[in-house]
Amino acid sequence: MSRFAVEPEFSHDQPARIGVLLVNLGTPDAPTAAAVKPYLRQFLSDPRVVEIPKLLWQLILRGVILNVRPKKSAHKYASIWSKEGSPLQVWTQKQARLLKGYLGERLQVPLSFAVGMRYGEPSIAAGLDTLKTAGCDRILLMPLYPQYAASTTATACDAAFTQLMRYRNQPALRTVRSFHDHAGYIDALAGQVRAHWQREGRGDHLLMSFHGLPRYTLTKGDPYFCHCHKTARLLADALELDPDQYTLSFQSRFGKAEWLKPYTADVLTKLGKAGVGRLDVICPGFAADCLETLEEIAIEGKETFLTAGGGSFRYIACLNDNGDWIKVLADLVERELSGWLAPDWQAEQATGLARESRERARKLGASK
């Protein structure tokens, strides 16, 4: 039996479409240990995420971590879950709808949109299937990670190319690598901070907390650390902050190994002990609010800061459905698609192929 999918007959007999797949990390289906366990198993079995020898790691993962962590994590998920579901899922789906509305009006080309999650549902494979079934012969993979990391961006691309291996009639695939220094993204972040200042008054210090990574990723050549620093510097410039008015830190350390420093929890303790009155906190690496921002920062982080003696902790929401952010996504998509939109010969060729195909189908039908 062939390992390639059987393509629908005359599948090229339809107008060519362009597909956009918005990719994010993914989230469990429910805030329960039973739902968190398979999600964590898939996530933490990814060799791009945990880079220790597979056999040893699977022993630790299945023997210890998957027996303890799902229950603890489920409890945390329950504290942030909304009526509509997991915030990461809800925001990502809304971003796809808003982008579709915005670009559908701007670009006069047949476009399809789908969401693909690297872990959990809807998977990247399912998202690509949806776009392919809709007739997309060119697909743009748009990971919603501003800063490139092998454990996020690269593994999303791996999953997409793995799915392409199953297709006989493969679409063309483009990928967005990073947008950590995109002017519109920096402006959208700055706008989010300014709007918060307008509502609450200006804080005394701004903490920019990014998701962490093991330190060895930096020495092995992952640009993530440098991308985070560049985003932070550009955001500080846009807000006209002096170096002593903001701090960059890395959160969500997993395991005992050394991760990128300074750790967010340590910085919160230090700022609290130093008696900082009004602390503003933003997580510029997360395009959507999720467990890591709403629970780890807005709940746990707040407690750390206040316990250490800090005044007030003011969490600034992620870009979520911010209109300027949707325009950033649209700009990234338009830039990538410009090469695909230009040549007329593709449309002409598609029409020609469709005609030939219809004629062939007619002849086949007539000879039966």
Ligand X SMILES: C=CC1=C(C)c2cc3[nH]c(cc4nc(cc5[nH]c(cc1n2)c(C)c5CCC(=O)O)C(CCC(=O)O)=C4C)c(C)c3C=C
Q: Does 95 bind Fe ion (CB under 5 A)?
A: no
Task: Please tell me the distance from the alpha carbon of residue 335 to that of residue 155, in angstroms, as a whole number.
Answer: 23
Span interacting with ligand X, options 110-118, 200-208, 284-292, 328-336, rule CB under 6 A: 284-292
Q: At what angle do helices 124-133 and 155-164 cross, to 10 degrees?
A: 50
DSSP 144: S
Q: Does 249 bind Fe ion (CB under 5 A)?
A: no
Q: Tell whether 182 is in a known binding site.
A: no
Total residues contacting ligand X by CB under 6 A comes to: 23
CB 321 within 8 A of CB 95: yes
Q: Does 35 bind ligand X (CB under 6 A)?
A: no
Lay out the site mask for ligand X across 244-283 (x = CB under 6 A, - = otherwise). Answer: --------x-x-----------------------------
Instruction: Specify the residue, 163 or 252, whose C-beta has the smaller distance to ligand X.
Output: 252
DSSP 214: B
Q: Tell whether 348 is in a known binding site.
A: no
Structure-token pair, residue 125: 């494979």
Closest-CA residue to 160 (of 116, 200, 193): 116
Span interacting with ligand X, options 145-153, 157-165, 303-311, 325-333, rule CB under 6 A: 145-153
Minimum distance of ligand X from residue 112's CB (angstroms): 25
Closest-CA residue to 91 (of 256, 249, 338, 319): 319
Task: Please tell me the distance from the alpha carbon of residue 290 to that of residue 345, in angstroms, as a whole number.
Answer: 44
Please measure the distance between the N-terminal and C-terminal CA atoms of the chain and give it in whole angstroms: 27
Beta 172-175 vs 205-211: how paired, if at all? unpaired
Binding partner of residue 152 among ligand X, Fe ion, none, CB cut-off 5 to 8 Å per kind: ligand X
Instruction: Specify the residue, 123 or 251, whose C-beta has the smaller distance to Fe ion.
Output: 251
Span interacting with ligand X, options 13-21, 134-142, 148-156, 309-317, rule CB under 6 A: 148-156
DSSP H or E segment with residue 207? strand 205-211
Binding residues for Fe(2+): 211, 292
Q: Give the footprint of ligand X on this chain (CB under 6 A).
A: 25, 27, 40, 49-50, 69, 73, 86, 88, 145, 149, 151-152, 211, 213, 224, 252, 254, 285-286, 290-292
